[in-house]
Amino acid sequence: EVQLVESGGGLGQPGGSLRLSCSASGFPLENYAMHWVRQAPGKGLEWVSGITWDSGRTAYADSVKGRFTISRDNAKNSLYLQMNSLRREDTALYYCVQDRGSGWFTAFDDWGQGTLVTVSS
Amino acid sequence: QSVLTQPPSASGTPGQRVTISCSGGSSNIASNTVNWYQQFPGTAPKLLIYSNNLRPSGVPERFSGSRSDTSGSLAISGLQSEDEAEYYCAAWDDSVNGWVFGGGTKLTVL
């Protein structure tokens, strides 16, 4: 059974940093591209970032480009999101998501339960 | 303002067939496939349809998808009370080089 468990959320200061982690189990992480998708309270879904199986290609939403960095460690079955220069509008539930494909992005297949990030002073 | 446009709400009675539209443009739906997600309150979304019209294993045949030009569509036949949820479409957008979502459609089963 695929399991994706996010951690690292919490209260962040405007201009500050947080690092999200996602621990994957039940499938070979190295075979799949991965994503972060967020959902602000009471709002819709917003894709944040994606990374191919070998970290060869990454992509970011314009809203986070230059501030967030996605990375992965297949040996540790883990996905990360380094969030810098936090803004209040980054407040959201952040989901770790497994893609159906490996080399590029196909669809958001399995989802974690999310970790809540709140940006406030 | 979402790049993909969905109606904010839809409704139907049990047994009815309901369709939800997703309108995009030349850089997203016209050139890339459409995926659909189902989300119940307080839970993570679930992949319902991918590559326009393919169902992951475990998704009932009552759910189907289609794409035509710059629009995608999700159809639910034999509507059931447990289908009451929020539905989102998504597609890769070549102009922003990223995934874009519709704003979501809240489906009510009357």
Distance in angstroms (rounded) separating the CA atoms of residues A96 and B68: 31
- What's the average pLDDT block by block, 10 residues per block, for chain B (110 residues)? 95 97 97 97 98 97 97 98 98 96 98
Count the Cβ atoms, other than its own, within 10 Å of residue B50.
23
Using alpha carbons, select from A33, A12, A36, A10 the residue that is nearest to residue A22. A36
Chain A's closest residue to B41, CA to CA, is A42
The pLDDT assigned to B1 comes to 83
Q: Chain A partners of B93 at a C-beta cutoff of 8 Å? A: none
Q: Which of A59, A61, A112 sits opposite B44 (nearest CB)?
A: A112
B50, A107: Cβ pair inside 8 Å? yes
pLDDT tens profile A20-48:
999 999 999 999 999 999 999 999 999 99
Q: What is the pLDDT of residues A44-95, one digit of tens each?
A: 999 999 999 999 999 999 999 999 999 999 999 999 999 999 999 999 999 9
The answer to whether the CB atoms of B101 and A44 lie below 8 A apart is yes
Q: Are B77 and B62 in contact (CB under 8 A)?
A: yes
What confidence score (pLDDT) does residue B21 get? 98
Structure confidence at residue B10 (pLDDT): 98
Query: What pLDDT, on a 0 to 100 scale, did the predictor assign at position A103?
Result: 73
